Amino acid sequence: MRYVFANCLLDSEDLTLVRAGQPVAVEPQVFDLLHLLVRNPGRLVSRDEILAEVWNGRIVSESAIGARIAAARKAVGDDGKAQRIIQTVTRRGLKFVAEVATDRPPASSRPAPIAQRIRYTRTAEGKSLAYAVTGSGPPVVRGGYNTTDLEAEWNTPSERVMFDAIAARHSLLRFDPIGFGRSDRALEEFSFDTLAENLKLAADAAGFERFALYSESGGVLSALRFAVKYPERVSRLAIVGGYAEGRGRRNPELKADVMQSLVSEGWTAQEISFVSAMMLSYFPEGPLEAIHDMARNMINASSRENMLKVRAAIHDVSLVPLLPRVQCPTLIIHARHDNVHPLSEAQKLAAGIPGAELMVLETANHIPIPGNAVWGEYQRLLLDFLGDEAASS
């Protein structure tokens, strides 16, 4: 069903929202809230109804509910002061006050679902490296991390939503490094310099000469190396949940990596609870469904042996000597209450990279994911930063 209101169109079958003719990226819970409200125009929708549909009856904080309401208003061009479309009835619930028209378009009018096409290129050693490009517009590369699987991520809602948001404005390149995902799984040695060369190989194969580069968590370890080695290729760099030094480097008394023990004991689909426990330390605010999806994807993307090599490299890594050599505009986004890689690590990055900006999000999740109160703010920050390049090119 399609719901038309104000200058918006919400399609409940295609799960899309369009405002003033332009697609609007919304996270799943915000879409579910809008869908509930447009089905009940003019009627008071109680808080209990909202919890039942959007959160499946789970108990959530008032701040989480308020964040979704604010994001829903923003998505449809409303705000808490005007309340032209979504009206708050104090202590009772919400009312959708805009007029709503519905229709069922013929099936032929709906565009076909976006299909991801995975392509391959080869390293000098003859190993196959998988990559995919989606969307159109100024080029953006997702910096190579070590637990990616192009196909699994594409089919995971909590991962896909950001890919779709970026691809709505850009040509987005993602790839699986050698040893992981859809690429050749044989990995004799692991190094972040080699990972940076994998990034270059994928960009060359896709025809990306100069591009914006964004990286998450450990992805910064290779992305920043690439930016330093090939400054003419990187127009701007976004770092999300990054860190300047590994846990062993910043805490010399940590002789062993506890994460490495979890990998060693439970890197199988049958023992997914071990990896889920590891992921929960990174994402204490959940949602749990997304954590389980990420754990499953990680296990399927890598062998235990390869992941142990990664953990060993991460434990003692340091980016500090490279930071002053970054030449492009850099945005660092970090969680204030990150317990795995604390805010002080992001501050080291910002202090060391010339002209870098640091934006702090009020969350404990290492990286925001759909379902977090700060998801909308995170998405806006990243898209605006990447979009600055599009406006200036």
Residues 97 and 137 grouped into a single domain: no
Domain end among 53, 82, 107: 107
Flag whether 151 is in a domain: yes
Whole-prediction pTM: 0.71
Domain end among 74, 107, 140: 107
Given a cut of 80, whether residue 273 has pLDDT beyond it is no
Flag whether 249 is in a domain: yes
Residues 79 and 147 grouped into a single domain: no
Q: Write out the residue range of the structural domain in which residue 299 sits.
A: 118-392
Domain count for the chain: 2
Look at residue 243 in the predicted model and tell me its pLDDT: 96
CATH (domain of 79): 1.10.10.10
Flag whether 47 is in a domain: yes
Flag whether 113 is in a domain: no
Residues 152 and 102 grouped into a single domain: no
Residues 290 and 342 grouped into a single domain: yes
Look at residue 245 in the predicted model and tell me its pLDDT: 95
Residues 217 and 92 grouped into a single domain: no
- For residue 274, what pLDDT band results from cuts at 50, 70 and 90? confident
CATH (domain of 374): 3.40.50.1820
Residues 78 and 130 grouped into a single domain: no
Residues 26 and 133 grouped into a single domain: no
In the predicted model, what is the mean pLDDT of residues 190-216? Answer: 96
In the predicted model, what is the mean pLDDT of residues 20-39? Answer: 90
Domain end among 107, 128, 156: 107
Residues 293 and 382 grouped into a single domain: yes
In the predicted model, what is the mean pLDDT of residues 159-167? Answer: 91
Look at residue 118 in the predicted model and tell me its pLDDT: 95
* Strand order from edge to edge, sheet including 44-46: 44-46, 93-96, 86-89
Residues 280 and 385 grouped into a single domain: yes
Given a cut of 90, whether residue 311 has pLDDT beyond it is no
Residues 196 and 292 grouped into a single domain: yes
Residues 256 and 377 grouped into a single domain: yes
Q: What is the mean pLDDT of the chain?
A: 89
In the predicted model, what is the mean pLDDT of residues 56-60? Answer: 79
**Tens digit of each residue's pLDDT (9 = 90 or more) over 334-388:** 999 999 999 999 999 999 999 999 999 999 999 998 888 899 899 999 999 998 6
Flag whether 112 is in a domain: no
Residues 176 and 147 grouped into a single domain: yes
Spatial contact of 116 and 369, defined as CB atoms under 8 Å apart: no
Q: In 10 A of CB 224, how many CB atoms?
A: 28
